[in-house]
Structure 1
Amino acid sequence: MDTAIDSVTDTFIQVSEVWVPDTETGETLVLAEGSYGELAGFEAASRRESFAKGEGLPGKAWAEARPVVLKGFDGSYFKRTEAAREAGLTAAVAVPVFDGDTLNAVLVVLCGDDDTRTGAIEVWADTDGLLMLDDGYYGAAKHFEWVSQHTHFPRGQGLPGGVRASHTPMLMRDLGSGYRFIRADSAGKAGLTTGLGLPVPVPGGAGYVLTLLSARGTPIARRFELWDARSVKVGRDRAAVLADGVCQREGPLWTDDTQEPPRRVAPWQGQIGKVLATGVPVVTSGNPGLSAGYETMVALPIHDDGEIAHIVAWYC
């Protein structure tokens, strides 16, 4: 099988980070892992930082128990503004990972704003059965942003409504021509090709859905995976099974090639197994255990009723 990956000069997401409660007091968030590419200055600033509850972007997502979109840093509560400006970063999204009432981590992704990067990171909120856009970052896709701001979804309709109704992550392909994607026309004009939607469980039962919409030229990811961990066993142990996935390279997502990762993993088996064992997101770069041709992986657990129900992963 040809495992060559399409050459990509710019990605929509430039930085991914995992912030976790410190092990001594649990009262501040500290950096666990991050992928920064060539942005060494911003990485250094991040490794010196920590956040109390309500402080900075990770602390705000923790305190408000919801995903938070921040589309401008100047004059905001963002603590690393100067380092972000030097790195060309202009927007960020923070996604809290709760297991019941307990915060396990906050995943933060950061983007830069220019005339070429196109994509979407959206947060949808359930308001009396309708999914309304809470906020989103779209890069150069300004018309698609306008359409999204004027669109709502009943439960079960479109990508946000489908995720909310099923309480499971979903992948949609060919967004510009797919009849299931309500915003297909504007998505096609913006060059958006693949959509990932996932529920964001938070205390109190508020309904949030995160959607990542990827364009081929400046992709959020070149490979997406959905893993199902509900009542799956390997022997006596919990396990996760690959349920769906999509990638840009030619050919099927999975083959019988022994170099490919397994489609069923136990706790601590590879990066997906690490997420399964800890309930904490993973961000890894340059890891020899990644699938051939990929440099960065993000894997995010989705908790439900005291256990990990799903893991979503994307690769660049």
Structure 2
Amino acid sequence: MDGKIDTPTDTFIQVAEVWVPKDDVLVYAAGDTNGLGAFEEASRGTRFAKGEGLPGKAWAEARPVVLKGFDGSYFKRTEVAKEAGLSAAVAVPVFDGDTLKAVLVVLCGDDAERIGAIEVWTANRDGLLMLDDGYYGAAEEFAFVSQHTCFPRGQGLPGGVWAADAPILMRDLGSGYKFVRASAAGKAGLTSGIGLPVRVPGGTPYVLTLLSALGTPIARRFEVWAVKRGGKAVLIDGVCEREGALWRDDGDGTRAEAPKAEAWKGPVGQVLGTGLPVVQRGAGGLPAGYGAFVGLPSYGGGAMTHIVAWYI
């Protein structure tokens, strides 16, 4: 049975929002503002046309967008964000073919002690994945190493995701031989990470990586779900800070004992049912000891293929 986990308040990601298209603009659908009421109120009253603000830019450019610093930028909620202590944001569009389903926006605090990494990788003309942009908080050395690292298809976490065209979870980043930047990750205190493909119109490859540290975690629990026919999903990998490996299926994800989710049942089921990213705080159905959930779907071939979930 799951025991109690003290939910940390000093997380790397402070706010998560879901924006959905409605009548040619993006509107606020759901979010976890972690008690930042004024920022939530401002978000609920904001609309973004295509190309406007951070969500609108991710929509118009059909790619993940990292914004480090709001002053003088296209970010529309700068003043209320500054009052809330927010200083950087990443927008991740979710496309089904050419159709935008939603934009997930995560915002990070300006505390100089926060360590983590949210990275966007894309291919260059030489067929190597290069860092398009990233936010690292106080992990400056790791940021420098990342800016000067490239990945061929199949190498490291970004290259592995690119080759598999599927989410990949990595443990023990500071000592794992598969994580190319292990030495720098260990010095920064990064412990676990997940990478996922961001599929966009036109086929340009993008890989999003989320790397978590113990002190200011992105997540205390990561899960990767493979979506099957009939509105069901199967857990194919997962790791918990307390329990270690939750499940790992090195086969095809069909083993009878694998944990499963059904549409509309539980937080992962909400992603299956709505077809959209889901952000929840304090909702029923979360594993015991966790206070917040983010579920991000991925589409390919006209159907949802995977769900990446993380919990705090």
| TM-score, normalised relative to structure 2 | 0.94
Correspondence for 1:302 among 294, 298, 301: 298
Structure 2 spans left out of the alignment, 5+ residues: 248-257
**Paired position in structure 2 for 1:170:** 168
Distance in 2 of aligned mates of 1:199 and 1:7: 29
Give the letter aligned to residue 189 of structure 1. Answer: K
Deviation at 1:3, TM superposition (A): 1.7
**Paired position in structure 2 for 1:227:** 225
CA RMSD after TM alignment: 1.3
**Paired position in structure 2 for 1:212:** 210
Structure 1 spans left out of the alignment, 5+ residues: 255-261
Give the letter aligned to residue 10 of structure 2. Answer: D
Deviation at 1:272, TM superposition (A): 1.3
Give the letter aligned to residue 239 of structure 1. Answer: K
**Paired position in structure 2 for 1:257:** none
Correspondence for 1:29 among 22, 26, 33: 26
Q: Helix, strand or coil: the match of 2:95? A: strand
- Seq. identity, %: 69
Deviation at 1:11, TM superposition (A): 0.2
Once the two structures are superposed, the pairs formed by residues 1-316 of structure 1 within 5 Å of their partners are: 1=1, 3-6=3-6, 8-22=8-22, 25=23, 27-128=24-125, 129-229=127-227, 232-233=228-229, 237-250=230-243, 253=246, 263-316=259-312
Distance in 2 of aligned mates of 1:62 and 1:244: 30
Change (3 A) 1:242 1:149: same
Question: Which stretches of structure 1, 4 residues or longer, exceed 2 Å deviation after superposition?
Answer: 6-9, 250-254
Checking the alignment, whether the CA contact within 8 Å between 1:169 and 1:226 is kept in structure 2 is: yes
Deviation at 1:247, TM superposition (A): 0.9
Distance in 2 of aligned mates of 1:313 and 1:98: 18
Checking the alignment, whether the CA contact within 8 Å between 2:238 and 2:245 is kept in structure 1 is: no
Deviation at 1:278, TM superposition (A): 2.5
Deviation at 1:295, TM superposition (A): 1.0
Distance in 2 of aligned mates of 1:266 and 1:9: 31
Any idea what the Cα deviations from partners look like across 1:221-267, whole Å, max 9, x if unmatched?
Answer: 111000001xx34xxx231000000111146637xxxxxxx921222
Change (3 A) 1:7 1:45: closer
Distance in 1 of aligned mates of 2:78 and 2:244: 43
Checking the alignment, whether the CA contact within 8 Å between 1:169 and 1:198 is kept in structure 2 is: yes
Q: Helix, strand or coil: the match of 2:3? A: coil
Give the letter aligned to residue 16 of structure 1. Answer: A
Distance in 1 of aligned mates of 2:82 and 2:107: 12
| TM-score, normalised relative to structure 1 | 0.93
